[in-house]
Structure 1
Amino acid sequence: MKQKSLLALSIALAFGLAGCEQASKTEAPQAQAQAPVAALKSGIELGNLDTQTKPQQDFFRYVNGNWLAKTEIPADKSVWGSFHELRKGADEHVLTLIKAAAAKPAEAGSDQQKIGDLFRAYLDTAKIDSLGLTPLQDELAAIDKLTQPAELAAFLGQMQQDRYGSPVALYVGQDQKDSTKYIVSASQSGLGLPDRDYYLKTDEKSEQIKKQYQWMIARFWELAGWAEGGKAAEQIFALESKLAEAQWSRVQNRDRNATYNKMTPAELSTLAPGFDWAAFIKAAQLNSEDALVVRQPTYFTAFAKLQQEVTLEQWKTYLKFHLIRSNASLLSANFDQASFDFYGRVLSGLQEQKPREERAVEAINSALGFMVGKMYVEKYFKPEAKERMDQLIKNLRVAFEQSINELDWMSAETKLAAQEKLKKFNTKIGYPDVWRDYNCLSISADDLIGNMQRSSQCEYQRMIGKLGKPVDRTEWGMTPQTVNAYYSSTMNEIVFPAAILQPPFFNVEADDAVNYGAIGGVIGHEITHGFDDQGSRSDGDGNLRDWWSPADAEQFRQRTQLMVEQYSAFNPIDDLKLQGALGLGENIADLGGLTVAYRAYQNSLGGKPAPVIDGFTGEKRFFIGWAQVWRTKFRDEALRQQVITGPHSPGMYRVLGVLSNMPEFYQAYDVKPGDGMYRPDDQRVKIW
């Protein structure tokens, strides 16, 4: 599942096995049955079922067909489904809290003052429109002051804290080969389109997007009152295209070994001569560091060469554009509209902007997320949800242990290493034990862009301030009001924010079957990330280390390659097929997670048959629980973007792809050869 934030840049996905020959013959401890809850209901949203579709033919449509038929994607959304419904609810709760904070007088510097004044600043569109481009004049003047090519390196280093437009991005995270320490990493960056493939593809749709992107650039020039917007657009697009040609693909960037290249600053200068790396690093306030990790070495070599070939005036044009682009939604309505027309309409298919208040919630979650999160938890999080999650996670861990022991393709030695990793998994549920403070951030009711710039600078200082200090294992990469979950490979932990612990993912009033199929599958998904094709490269302490025997590694590779081929055959739109190699980690996590969740559910029954509720056996309800979580509708533009850039398969394939590989599903629904959900046994993937 997806993760965003500076910490999230260090998050990877993984999974491993353990045990020994003797252990594989010994039954793992029986999972504890869930405490009974009075008047439990099925948890199935019966009105969404399409009973005209046979579950054996298309289980996604069988579970969600009526929902698909009756649901319209909101005009201000590009995708709509269970995640988005929950996110809307969480945002509404946050908005209620924000309005309450803004409604009362507040002491300067207090949480209430910061939240209320940022809300007021975002909603003061009259003030914002009157300012036009004025809030960026200091930054534009700083770009204009560049007179020598040699000054560019220091400027790009200095602007790291502002997070806009640098072809190289620096961040601080745990060292993947020594997870007890923090280290600086450097990565490719600097594109205005979502991915390098948007520049490299030459099909008709891609060419249209390129033209419309250049239209937006020229429009910014026109709104700024600058001449030759068309020429600027051509220059910027040409420069970004050269950066894109040198960049690594998303599939390459998944490889945790290939992207771990530790070197000294002097070695970086040798790798990528022609760019003043010492000045860049010093201006980024990192000159005391004696080593850094360079994620894409060939890109850095190419960038350093390109930096010399491109004139300073072209770089200045590029920097001005990215300054405006990254702030356009905070500027006057004409800049905001131009940005929306491209990023919203063209790339995502949106029909209208979100209401201003909803956008204010996004800004406040970005700048003051954990401050708001503390309020959210106090008002909306139920302690009983955490208690029941604790038990579910314990049961999933037991089931995973059992699954490892019973694998017939893995040696005892590798099983033992996997079990050791599993035992070291940490879990965080709901909210942090230690809340982040925002003393570094001052907020003004009449300075929206200044507020967001100070937030970025505050977080940058917080990030680089970690260097030389012990790793903070209380830190969270997501706020409690985030509807998502994640696995961190360097922390070796799974994290479930409060907002995801709601129906259809988690229903404290529902029978266990649907909960195991829904949130149980999500828990299993995150655990399995510790053992997917990349997570399995780290040990229980979070260190990048090979703990596999060569024979087991080859078995694992063969099984994952079959999964790559399966998903690469799915064709969701036009001529675009899923990128099986890009989605491999997520697809492994889906299949492994649901398989282990099913075992945990069976364990929880303690040998007794599950009750039949709403006419469904427990086994059938389990799979319905998984399928209704992934109900999703896409606009065509958003679906194309998801296929090109997203590691997650679209919702329907998270159902069809997973269940067609699970013998347990075949048994529950009597799937036979000739059915749409059927795969021959030798074509099914079994990993965990």
Structure 2
Amino acid sequence: MKIKTNLFIASGLLSAVLLTSVPVKAQLKKANDPVYQNLDPSVKPGDNFFMYANGGWIKKNPIPNAYSSWGIGNVVGEDLRERLRKINEDAEKANAPKGSNTQKIGDFYYSGMDTLTIEKLGINAIKTPLNRIDQIKSKQDVLDVAAYLTTIGARTFIGSGVGQDAKNSVKMVLQFRQSGLGLPNRDYYYKTDARTTRIRNDYAQQHIPTMLKLSGLNDATAANAVFTIEKALADSSRNLVALRDPYKNYHKMPVAKLNRLTPNINWVNLLPKLGLNAVDSVIVGQPEYYVELDKALTQFSVADWKAYLRWKLVSSYASYLSKDFEQENFRFTGTVLSGRKEQLPRWKRVLDTENGLMGELLGQLFVKEYFPAASKKRYVDMVEAIRAAYREHIEKLDWMSPETKQKALAKLNAIHPKVGYPDQWKDFFALQVSRTSYAENVLNGRHWQYEENIHKLGKPVNHAEWNMTPQTYNANYSPSNNEITLPAAQFMIPGVKDADVDDAVAYGYVAASTIGHEITHGFDDQGRQYDAKGNLKAWWTPVDSAKFTQRAQMLVDQFNGYKVLDSLHVNGKATLGENIADLGGIVLGLDAFKKTAQYKEGKTINGLTPVQRFFLGYALGWLGHTRDEALANQILTDVHSPGYLRVNAPFSDVDEFYTAFGIKKGDPMWIDPDKRVKIW
């Protein structure tokens, strides 16, 4: 997956990159040149290319108080949020028929902006699930209520969902994963460095007690029990690296075996409480977590578990309750964890929530107004240009056998691209939205999402379904579907008209940074373990697999050497898949660009050669900077390397980069030729 920002943004595509050939404009004004205007000429390309390419912009654009990072995605998002705001405000005033998309959008937005009602309701906005918790009297009640809370999107100790069977991708099966933590992952409960210790102490000693007190439970013992339960569950939870091994996170078993694994949990009785009936087998990602959960159910009292479930409910809904809940939630999650100094304006927060719950419904209205169907073809053409480049790369590999090459080519040819927006939209008929309560609308939306997911159990895989919305500034690869999803918004460059974006920049910004990146995910350390039909299956010869692993280890070692903050280094193993995809995307995008007229003509624009502009176009995709708090959180929880290293690190492995910018031995970005990583 390619993540540039935590914000959703939508695509108006009035400033989108044209992916068909664009005439080179030698007289393009420097102020309108999307790469020239961001340069910092005081930095040498060989010292820190990211800052050379983007430093001029970074100096002029400090991170606003409401954000933990600020970059290209945010800039585009500010403009596009305004367009979404107009759609919502128009829908709010439309007096649309009940049950229509317009009514649901307008009423949701109204309820989120109706702070008088939100303050009046306070904790009573979630009174129904709170009453369920208060009525718990036994351990069986604990399990039953946890199941109910799971169905309304509270983050309980049950991590269930329906998805494709990794070893039989045509089957939709019930899966269980580790869950139940309130901090971002297990490392936050056990690392002893000063930064993590400070966050953990705040969470346990201030955040949990404050939120429970606001909810009506002023009990230090209860707050301590919540943290103790979470720490016990964290002890059996896998870390970021361990979660990336698809074989070790695949344990298919009959429900009866799961019952034996957890003797205090009768799953035959509990599954119907989750809305799941006639389930005969499950896939358990991390069995040791459920073994520990089973033990914890006997170790902790009913009162302790009631406090835990109250905490899970309140923390999951705090952003949609009265100001006291919302502010404490932001103090910890926004400021302590991410370094933000103030919240976004309310209308933006409501839009973000709406997009997360009913984004495809919003997307239907959005693309109708702002994204013409004809634009799709441009992006499909570039996908095929990258696919053609990848075929050539595979055929020329000197380390892969003909047998594995044949299967790799078959998988490449089978990759299905989803571009722009869905051909089939989701049906939101069953979603209930009114102006009565914002929290209730969120609850209904989460329950609708849950029901939509579990109803896939046992049904054929819907390959027309999208897992992202058109207005998302992101893209991804699905190994089980062997497909890439490229939302319309991902192709935008802020403030630049289509005609002013030359192919060099487009191929760096789009073909390399997004399309080539996502296709390469099909052949990274995880994706390569799935065959052309999306099944987890060994299709490499053992020798080829060993050669790939040797080359990938070079990339692990390279990234392990990058120190980001204090004593924090990049985790080369955890970020390996993304780092392979970045490197693959760059070399594929460059080779595809070499077939364009602009590359062959070789004319400069504002003193920059076509190849220089390609590399600058790629760097533009990672334009931005991040607060230290958010950067530290990313290192511990994210499989993506920091943005600046997604430019500097892979460029140091690409020979053409050295030639294009005259990088010499002794420059900080220099890597000796025999140590440069070459995989695909």
TM-score surpassing 0.5?
Answer: yes
Q: Distance in 2 between matches of 1:125 and 1:526?
A: 41
Preserved contact between residue 396 and residue 600 of structure 1 (Cα < 8 Å): yes
- For structure 2, the residue ranges without an aligned partner over 5 or more in a row are 5-18
Structure 1 position 551 matched with structure 2 position 553: no
Structure 1 position 663 matched with structure 2 position 663: no
Q: Distance in 1 between matches of 2:494 and 2:406?
A: 36
Matches within 5 A, 1:290-309: 290-309=280-299
Following superposition, the deviation at residue 506 of structure 1 comes to: 9.5
**TM-score normalised to structure 2 length:** 0.94
Q: Distance in 2 between matches of 1:505 and 1:568?
A: 37
Q: Distance in 2 between matches of 1:157 and 1:134?
A: 21
Structure 1 position 206 matched with structure 2 position 196: yes
When residues 506 and 281 of structure 1 are mapped into structure 2, their CA distance, relative to the original with a 3 A threshold, is: farther
Structure 1 position 588 matched with structure 2 position 566: no
Structure 1 position 176 matched with structure 2 position 155: no
Q: Distance in 2 between matches of 1:38 and 1:372?
A: 37
Structure 1 position 572 matched with structure 2 position 564: yes
Partner-residue secondary structure (3-state), 2:279: coil
Partner of 1:15: none
Following superposition, the deviation at residue 638 of structure 1 comes to: 0.5
When residues 330 and 185 of structure 1 are mapped into structure 2, their CA distance, relative to the original with a 3 A threshold, is: same
Preserved contact between residue 155 and residue 280 of structure 1 (Cα < 8 Å): no
Which residue identity is paired with 1:517?
Answer: G
Partner of 1:630: 622
Which residue identity is paired with 1:104?
Answer: A
Greater shift, 526-535 or 84-93, is seen at: 84-93
Preserved contact between residue 149 and residue 313 of structure 2 (Cα < 8 Å): no
Partner of 1:12: none
Q: Distance in 1 between matches of 2:445 and 2:376?
A: 31
Structure 1 position 164 matched with structure 2 position 158: no
- Per-residue deviation, residues 200-251 of structure 1 (Å, max 9, x unmatched): 11122222112211211111233233332x2222111111111111101111
Matches within 5 A, 1:138-157: 138-157=128-147
Among candidates 252, 262, 266, match of residue 252 of structure 2: 262
When residues 508 and 385 of structure 1 are mapped into structure 2, their CA distance, relative to the original with a 3 A threshold, is: farther
Partner of 2:11: none
Q: Distance in 2 between matches of 1:610 and 1:505?
A: 26
Structure 1 position 511 matched with structure 2 position 502: yes
Partner-residue secondary structure (3-state), 2:161: strand
Q: Distance in 2 between matches of 1:446 and 1:482?
A: 29
Partner of 1:355: 345
Partner of 2:589: 597
Q: Distance in 1 between matches of 2:526 and 2:226?
A: 35
Q: Distance in 2 between matches of 1:563 and 1:35?
A: 34
Which residue identity is paired with 2:267?
Answer: W
Q: Distance in 1 between matches of 2:51 and 2:599?
A: 32
Among candidates 70, 80, 97, match of residue 60 of structure 2: 70
Structure 1 position 222 matched with structure 2 position 213: yes
When residues 483 and 441 of structure 1 are mapped into structure 2, their CA distance, relative to the original with a 3 A threshold, is: same
Following superposition, the deviation at residue 67 of structure 1 comes to: 1.3
Partner of 1:100: 90
Preserved contact between residue 75 and residue 494 of structure 2 (Cα < 8 Å): no
- Per-residue deviation, residues 555-579 of structure 1 (Å, max 9, x unmatched): 1111111111111111111111111
Which residue identity is paired with 1:590?
Answer: D
Following superposition, the deviation at residue 36 of structure 1 comes to: 4.3
Which residue identity is paired with 1:563?
Answer: L
Q: Distance in 2 between matches of 1:383 and 1:64?
A: 33
Structure 1 position 313 matched with structure 2 position 311: no
Among candidates 669, 680, 684, match of residue 672 of structure 2: 680
Among candidates 589, 603, 609, match of residue 601 of structure 2: 609
Greater shift, 146-155 or 424-433, is seen at: 146-155
Greater shift, 256-265 or 103-112, is seen at: 103-112
- Per-residue deviation, residues 401-439 of structure 1 (Å, max 9, x unmatched): 000011111111111110000010101111000111111
Q: Distance in 2 between matches of 1:60 and 1:542?
A: 36
Partner-residue secondary structure (3-state), 1:250: coil
Partner of 2:393: 403
Partner-residue secondary structure (3-state), 2:337: helix
Greater shift, 40-49 or 173-182, is seen at: 40-49
Q: Distance in 2 between matches of 1:317 and 1:580?
A: 38
Partner-residue secondary structure (3-state), 1:174: strand
Q: Distance in 1 between matches of 2:609 and 2:498?
A: 19
Among candidates 409, 417, 430, match of residue 440 of structure 1: 430
Partner of 2:379: 389
- Indicate the RMSD between aligned Cα atoms, in angstroms: 1.8
Q: Distance in 2 between matches of 1:159 and 1:418?
A: 44
Preserved contact between residue 153 and residue 277 of structure 1 (Cα < 8 Å): no
Partner-residue secondary structure (3-state), 2:176: strand
Partner of 2:118: 128
Which residue identity is paired with 2:188?
Answer: Y
Greater shift, 34-43 or 368-377, is seen at: 34-43
- Per-residue deviation, residues 422-472 of structure 1 (Å, max 9, x unmatched): 010101111000111111111111211111111111111111111222111
The alignment of Structure 1 onto Structure 2 pairs a total of residues equal to 659
Q: Distance in 1 between matches of 2:368 and 2:136?
A: 50
Preserved contact between residue 504 and residue 518 of structure 1 (Cα < 8 Å): no
Partner-residue secondary structure (3-state), 1:199: helix
Following superposition, the deviation at residue 382 of structure 1 comes to: 4.4
Q: Distance in 1 between matches of 2:172 and 2:392?
A: 35
Partner of 1:29: none
Structure 1 position 251 matched with structure 2 position 255: no
Q: Distance in 1 between matches of 2:635 and 2:652?
A: 21
Which residue identity is paired with 1:553?
Answer: S
Q: Distance in 1 between matches of 2:525 and 2:237?
A: 22
Structure 1 position 618 matched with structure 2 position 610: yes
Partner of 2:69: 79
Structure 1 position 419 matched with structure 2 position 409: yes
Partner of 1:377: 367
Preserved contact between residue 260 and residue 294 of structure 1 (Cα < 8 Å): yes
Preserved contact between residue 426 and residue 493 of structure 1 (Cα < 8 Å): yes
Among candidates 483, 501, 509, match of residue 473 of structure 2: 483
Partner-residue secondary structure (3-state), 1:105: coil
Q: Distance in 2 between matches of 1:247 and 1:220?
A: 25
Q: Distance in 2 between matches of 1:394 and 1:606?
A: 19
Partner-residue secondary structure (3-state), 1:231: helix
When residues 380 and 324 of structure 1 are mapped into structure 2, their CA distance, relative to the original with a 3 A threshold, is: same
Preserved contact between residue 181 and residue 468 of structure 1 (Cα < 8 Å): yes
Partner-residue secondary structure (3-state), 2:498: coil
Q: Distance in 2 between matches of 1:489 and 1:292?
A: 20
Q: Distance in 2 between matches of 1:164 and 1:259?
A: 24
Preserved contact between residue 86 and residue 483 of structure 1 (Cα < 8 Å): no
Q: Distance in 2 between matches of 1:417 and 1:313?
A: 57
- Per-residue deviation, residues 301-347 of structure 1 (Å, max 9, x unmatched): 12111222111111110000111111111111011111111111111
- Per-residue deviation, residues 357-410 of structure 1 (Å, max 9, x unmatched): 001101211222111101111222244542221221111000000000111111
Q: Distance in 2 between matches of 1:256 and 1:225?
A: 43
Q: Distance in 1 between matches of 2:516 and 2:124?
A: 50
Q: Distance in 2 between matches of 1:394 and 1:116?
A: 40
Q: Distance in 2 between matches of 1:316 and 1:395?
A: 57
Partner of 1:241: 231
Partner of 1:324: 314
When residues 165 and 313 of structure 1 are mapped into structure 2, their CA distance, relative to the original with a 3 A threshold, is: farther
- For structure 1, the residue ranges without an aligned partner over 5 or more in a row are 5-32
How many percent identity over aligned positions?
39
Partner-residue secondary structure (3-state), 2:435: coil
Preserved contact between residue 504 and residue 629 of structure 1 (Cα < 8 Å): no
